[in-house]
Amino acid sequence: MGRRLLAAALTALAGAALAQPVTITWFVGLGAGAQPEQKAAQDAIVERFNASRDDIRLEIVYVTNEVSVATLSTLIATGQAPDIVGPVGGAGSAAFAGNFLDLQPLIEEDGYDLSQFPEAAVENQRTDDGLIGIPFASFPAFLYYRPALFDEAGLEYPPAEVGAPYVLDGQEVPWDIDTLTEVAKRLTVDANGYDATEPEFDPARTVQWGFVNQWAGAGVARQNVTLFGPGTMVDEEGNARMPDTGARAGAGTTTRSGRTTSCPRPTRTPPTSSRRATRSSRAGWRWHSRTSGTPAASPGPSGTSPRCRRTRAP
């Protein structure tokens, strides 16, 4: 009788143990997601999931991005690796290459539909380790500009559609880094009103910058290089190297110290006439012919009108 009671008790304990939910840990902070304004949406996901399941409990752990690499490294080294990491970008996941599970077998077993995502987004998650992630979001790059400065320089506005050409000096050219470099140089002006394409330009007295890479943070070098095209900093033998795009980016750098190196730019036909603008504190920009000094008929160039040099009124 005693043995039967003991066996029944052990069976009950085993059943109770099996009934305990499995805890899944979600690590957030290696990429975005740990900011206060982002937490509410993720907490809501955890709450909805836990309300729908009795056998699995999802727990979310937030760390700041600044300490995320060190924290995750410690968790992995001590055998406490989280089950889910994200959202995370390429740089964050590359820091832990070889530690992520290939999700492809689980996706196939579960019948999870990857067609809900763009194919390119899915393929972007594939590495030598397999499919290590599921697309979450894309962070598109964009360019914002001040139309008034383009008007002053007689430049067309940047194209608003991907792949659309740019009109420079009356000619259609690709909107690429070469064109952006040329436009930025024409918009970069020194205290004497010369732009960065003119031999008289004094970089030490720059008062208007034609292009600034905003929100680049600690990755400014990497982000500047990618403007010039894709490239890898590791060769086929696994050695570190500077990709051609990196060397090209270095040749097109303008620093705030005022020193500039020669930037590759497309060949262009010089304008048939030049203009200069003087500025008074009250009247704003006034356009004048550089050769005659007489006021132009229009208040300012537009479209494919000749570009202008701006000078400060004495």
Instruction: Tell me the per-residue pLDDT of 109-118, one tens digit each, with 9 for 90 and over.
Output: 999 999 999 9
How far is the CA of 143 from the CAs of 146, 159, 189, 212, 231, in angstroms? 10, 10, 20, 10, 22
Q: Is the CATH number of domain 2-99 3.90.1150.170?
A: no
Closest CA to 259 of 193, 181, 201: 201
245, 251, 255, 258: CA torsion to nearest 10: -170
Q: Which residues contact 143 (CB under 8 A, 6 or more apart)?
A: 158
Question: Is there a contact between 288 and 304 (Cβ–Cβ < 8 Å)?
Answer: no
Question: Which residue is it, tokens 């305990």?
Answer: 20
Residue 312 has pLDDT above 70, yes or no: no
Closest CA to 208 of 241, 178, 184: 184
Tell if the pTM clears 0.85, that is, is over it. no
Which tens digits make up the pLDDT trace of 5-43? Answer: 445 544 555 555 557 899 999 999 998 889 999 999 999
Which tens digits make up the pLDDT trace of 132-186? Answer: 999 988 777 788 899 999 999 999 999 999 889 999 999 999 999 899 999 999 9
Phi, psi for 172 (deg, rounded to 5): -75, 125
Is 70 exposed, middle or buried, given 0-12, 13-18 or 19+ CB atoms closer than 10 A? exposed
Is 50 exposed, middle or buried, given 0-12, 13-18 or 19+ CB atoms closer than 10 A? middle
Question: Is there a contact between 232 and 246 (Cβ–Cβ < 8 Å)?
Answer: no
CA 265, CA 81: separation in Å to the nearest integer?
A: 49
Q: H or E element: which one contains 248? A: helix 244-250
Decide the pairing of beta strands 22-28 and 56-62. Answer: parallel
Q: Return the DSSP state at 204.
A: G
Within the chain, all domains assigned CATH 3.40.190.10 are found at: 2-99
